[in-house]
A and B are shown apart, each in its own frame.
Chain A
Amino acid sequence: MFEMSRLIRNEWMKIFKRNSTYILIAILMGAVFLFAFVSSWSNNQQSQSMPWEEQVSQQMNVYEQQAAQSENMEEKIYYQDQVAIAQHRLEEDIPPPKHTGFTQYLLDSKSNITFAVLFTVIIASGIVASEFTWGTIKLLTIRPVKRGKILWAKYFTTLLFSLTLALITYLAAIIGGMMFLERGDGVLLTMVGDNIVEQSVWIESLRLYGLAFVNMIIMTSFAFMIGTLSRSNALAIGLSIFLMFTGQQLVFLFQEYAFVKFYLFTHTDFSQYLQPNPMIEGISPLFSVTVLMLYLIVFLLVSHFSFTKRDIAT
């Protein structure tokens, strides 16, 4: 255990003694602030909308129709709940968050996680591969520590780093929002059992960020595996980023085929379960978790054997 913590400290040191890491973090924070600024700016461009009561009752009508039309039980319940919440708002005079306000902005800001994933992928690709390009792998592995342990320390460090970036993204989004957006603008409501309760924006936003973090772990592990296998930084970064941007699109391309149920990117977006009708019929959160776990195990096993069994000849 002590040994593991020493190894992780080493890896952490090697990440944070590099200037490029700080540049990545600065770019990440810059992007998040820019997002906040653009949100406030585009909101100001929008003309004054109708009063919220009107909006909510319009929305309620849509939900009622959808509830009536849906054949799927789950879907029906979802829309019925939405109708109940809308009714509650009108009866009790509780406005929803404004499109232009802090609450809605913070929930939307979870898309910034994409930047965090991008930068974590860069670190994950390099954490093993760079040791080979630098030639330091030799001095790293001729130590009284099993190669496997060194690899695990690198993996944990990568996860820790991705968690750090996710937190930085979240905190920067809050700070950016406080600087640029209007606060105190309505209330989120949700169904708990049969009761309608107030939902705090912090909990709701953390939930969304948390779901996005699942995707982050998978992409990070994928990049980690490619970096370990190829021993090449550039290849791992390139391949991971390419998949990050095309992987999700391919789900729609593959949706006619049976294997799409076992395709990685069918499952990486967990926010699909916040509404009925996930991307592909017949998948559930439990099924997704199982598939993702299987992928993760394969990624890690492949990395492990590649790292511990192959000769080091650089």
Chain B
Amino acid sequence: MNEQPVVQLKNLTKKIGSKTIIDDLSLDLYPGQVTGFLGPNGAGKTTTIRMMVGLMKATSGEVIIDGYHLNKNYTKSISQVGAIVENPEMYKFMSGYQNLVHFARLQGNISKERIKEVVKQVGLESRIHDKVQAYSLGMRQRLGLAQAILHKPKFLILDEPTNGLDPAGIREFRMYLRKIAAEDGVSVLVSSHLLSEIELMCDRIAIIQQGKLISIRSVQGSDQDKRKVFLFKVSDKEKAWQIVKDNDEDIEVEIMDDRLMINLEKEQAAQINRTFIENGIDVYEIIPHKKTLEEEFLEMTGGEQIV
């Protein structure tokens, strides 16, 4: 991408006591792009986000938003940010609408019409005058999104935003993110543990572990891998296994339940299929098995390890 990044994190480091929580993290975020921010529990996602919105000061390194340094020109740079940091805690004794009026006053000039528009967008019209006390988790999440987009920021940070949303809500939310990214060129950073969700929602994924950025790549990336695992359902799996091995010693092949798992390139798959048929083995199904983000994630971060 040759566009200017909206957000630049440069060598961000955070130490609390002697513990390094974020370690030399650099990341650029571009307009119109939805970036997933993944990492095991305690990896440092929330801490990074806190530093991006000025709740915490970085020990070293800098955050630049829309061309302004967060430390030197806080109000200018933060005016382009909308955020949910962890749970969207609101004033429970006030209505959703009063909460939005409160945040609107903090943002500066936001009209009543704009508040109405946002309430409609997040689908809270019927309950907006109820006290937040009486809201469900999903409704709070929607209100959280509403306060984040009130001022039409160029950069949206959402820490676990789908937590508590119903399937329809998640779908709407995803469509909404895609829409503001595509139409308004908003740059979005979403942290979540729902990897399938992230996969559907994001253009790009950044993975953090123990405070270090360990991978950034686009979501389509894994599709272009040439090698894949193919699952063959055949009439005689032992014989088929022998044929594969006879054909080429080095091919990885395994019997799993009633299927044969073979690691192949695309062209080879067609060829093996022909060989099976020629040897009198019936082939019922061939499924190319794409690695899910979940599998990749677990591979990369080494499973359930929490720091």
Contacts and interface: CB of A to CB of B under 8 A. Distances in A.
Interface residues on A, range: 20 to 34
A200 B105 CA distance: 45
13 contacts: A7-B105, A7-B106, A18-B93, A138-B55, A139-B85, A139-B88, A142-B81, A143-B103, A144-B76, A145-B106, A311-B56, A313-B50, A313-B55
Nearest to A134: B89
A68 B93 CA distance: 64
B54 A141 contact: yes
A201 B79 CA distance: 54
Contact of A135 (B75, B76, B87): B87
Interface of A: 3, 6-7, 9-10, 13-14, 17-19, 134-136, 138-146, 311-313
A17 B74 contact: no
A144 B105 CA distance: 10
Interface in B35-77: 50, 53-57, 74-76
Nearest to B75: A144
Interface of B: 50, 53-57, 74-76, 78-79, 81, 83, 85-94, 98, 102-103, 105-108, 147
Given A145-B75, A311-B55, 13 more contacts: A14-B91, A14-B94, A134-B89, A134-B92, A135-B86, A135-B87, A135-B89, A136-B91, A139-B85, A139-B89, A139-B103, A144-B75, A145-B106
Contact of A143 (B50, B78, B90): B78
Nearest to B47: A313
A313 B76 CA distance: 23
B74 A146 contact: yes
Given A13-B102, A313-B50, A146 B91 contact: no
B79 A10 contact: no
Contacts, number: 75
A139 B88 CA distance: 8
B46 to A, nearest CB: 9
A67 to B, nearest CB: 60
Best-buried of B54, B92, B147 by chain A (most CB within 10 Å) = B54
Closest 5 CB pairs of A and B: A135-B89, A144-B79, A143-B106, A312-B55, A144-B75
Nearest to B80: A144
A136 B83 CA distance: 13
A3 B108 CA distance: 7
A136 B85 CA distance: 10
Contact of B147 (A10, A18, A139, A141): A139
B278 to A, nearest CB: 66
A60 B91 CA distance: 62
Contact of B102 (A10, A145, A146): A10
A17 B56 CA distance: 30
Contacts of B55: 138, 141-142, 311-313
A10 B107 CA distance: 12
B201 to A, nearest CB: 22
Contact of B50 (A6, A14, A135, A312): A312
Nearest to A145: B106
Nearest to A313: B56
Given A141-B55, A142-B54, A19 B105 contact: no
B89 A144 contact: no
A125 to B, nearest CB: 17
A138 B51 CA distance: 12
